[in-house]
Chains A and B, each alone.
Chain A
Amino acid sequence: MNWTAIRSIYIFEMFRFFRTIAQSFLAPVISTSLYFVVFGAAIGSRIQEVEGVSYGAFIVPGLIMLTVITQSISNASFGIYFPKFIGTFFELLAAPISFLEIVIGYVGAAATKALIIGVIILLTAFFFVDFSIAHPLAMLAFLVLTSISFALFGFILGIWAGNFEQLQIVPLLIVTPLVFLGGSFYSISMLPPVWQTVSMFNPVVYLISGFRWAFFDSADVPIITSLLAILLFTGTCLGIIWWIFRTGWRIRE
């Protein structure tokens, strides 16, 4: 393993993040605050409690997940697509590093950024609502695992994308709806039975449910199912990346 190279990629990517610190932090913090104001305060004042917690607190895990997932994907996909777009990708190909090292560097940086933003949102949430975290370690583990797995997914997206439109279309058309319909703002048990069944095909449901369990010790699906779901997703992404690595798909002519 060429750890020096991995560290170089990681640091370089993190620098880009800190250079655009305003966009990187402010945008998600502001939008989350808006969610709290609109959903938490305005709507929450009418919905009293969901599964024994105030609505404002109930949406916290979902909001963090929403942001962490979208941030992981966009950071990682953009991070690897950008060098392809401006033509600096050749440098990675000509360097004495393996594809695995490239993945670790870029995915690591993307996941870290998402994680940082996730934590910031968590802290922001404490300003708006009162809540405590039932299983802090599990919560952290879920956050880390989610960041990494969706950063892997974003990396694949960035390798696949041939232009900026393609880069944005998948998050826009597939990921965002899945996340919104994944129970960020409601409990699956609030839905009619048919939609509950449909929801079971949405992988994000398992993530949010598991994450919410870490907060409030109650969940839509058993925690072990949530864990398996995210491991399955991570495994699939790793498999695809391994395949890209083997074939050089969209990387080397």
Chain B
Amino acid sequence: MRNIVEISNLKKSYKGGFEALKGVNLNIREGEILALLGPNGAGKTTLISTVCGITTATSGSVTVGGHDIIRDYRAARSMIGLVPQEINLEPFERVINTVRFSRGLFGKSRDDGTIETVLKQLSLWDKKDNQIRELSGGMKRRVLIAKALAHDPRVLFLDEPTAGVDVELRKDMWDVVAGLKAQGVTIILTTHYIEEAEAIADRVGVIAKGALMLVEDKDKLMARMGQKELEVQLTQKLDAVPDALRSDALRLSDDQKALIYTYDTRAERTGITTLLADVAKAGLTLRDVVTRQSSLEEIFVNLVNNDTDAEDAA
């Protein structure tokens, strides 16, 4: 797959010397949804702002569709749509005018058909003549998305698109994102909601303290980092794990009616066969067997925590 955005060794120091990006390398593939996760202040917005031309990098380079964002900024920026983290809109402007304005800024001639499609896609059509100040927060966020989509971008950056958005609307937003992906738009979104990344991303990147900790296919990431749990539910209640079964990987559930076995999906031998045989040998009766994959959230928390631990130790 072709890379549509190539970021190499990108560094950014703000005035006063604070290093918000410490040499980020990242290739974004055409047509994918990439979720960037990271705690507050990790550098997600800084990364996006730099690619979009809002801040200038201290060093390093970025290309979008093969166009350098500095030397060939017109071509590069023409491909990009940006939905910023903060809701910045002119309160007295009408929805449709502000969306038209965005399209015009990108040098595209007025096209009411496109604007109508975009507004309908975001359920804003019936609000098109309203002033921005008359909209709810979630609607305003969708206006930002409409503005970003008004010039048919090939790459869309969504900086926390679902912050402060209710569950239903969040699902709608995911549908919009899925629809854009179906049209071949590459989407980069930042989020604090791990279930969001889990639900819609193809790949996940984790940023902490200005460094990209990892970028992985979501499925691979969960498979690689994720440990699986096997819950062996029993017909009887136990006081403790029977001596014959005792191992580090096995523990008793809180309700004492199940044994929980943790294993690594990557391992040659997971030990499940042996475990089940041993359970039978110990005279226990199985009621049911359930497996669980650890969520991205656990992976994420582990990753960020490990990093902090490492730094504390140093």
Which residues of A pack against B, CB within 8 Å? Answer: 2, 4-5, 7-9, 11-12, 15, 19, 82-83, 86-88, 90-97, 248, 252-253
Contacts and interface: CB of A to CB of B under 8 A. Distances in A.
A90 B107 contact: no
Interface string B42-84: 0000000100111110000000000000000111111010101
B15 A91 contact: no
B105 A19 contact: no
A226 to B, nearest CB: 38
B109 to A, nearest CB: 6
Interface in B5-38: 14-15
Contacts of B84: 87, 90
B105 A8 contact: yes
Given A8-B104, A19-B92, A96 B56 contact: no
B55 A4 contact: no
Contacts of A92: 105
Nearest to B88: A87
B104 A87 contact: no
A88 B55 contact: no
Contact of A94 (B82, B86, B109): B82
A88 B104 contact: no
Contact of B77 (A11, A82, A88, A95): A95
Contact of B88 (A15, A90, A95, A97): A90
13 contacts: A4-B104, A7-B104, A8-B101, A15-B97, A87-B84, A87-B86, A88-B90, A90-B54, A90-B88, A91-B105, A95-B77, A96-B73, A97-B105
Contacts of B300: none
Contacts of B75: 96
B292 interface: no
B102 interface: yes
A12 B101 contact: yes
A96 B77 contact: yes
A94 B50 CA distance: 10
A90 B82 contact: yes
Contacts of A11: 104
Contact of B54 (A15, A83, A96, A252): A252
B280 to A, nearest CB: 64
Nearest to A10: B104
Interface in B84-143: 84, 86, 88-92, 97, 100-109
A225 B96 CA distance: 49
Nearest to B102: A91
A82 B92 CA distance: 12
B147 interface: yes
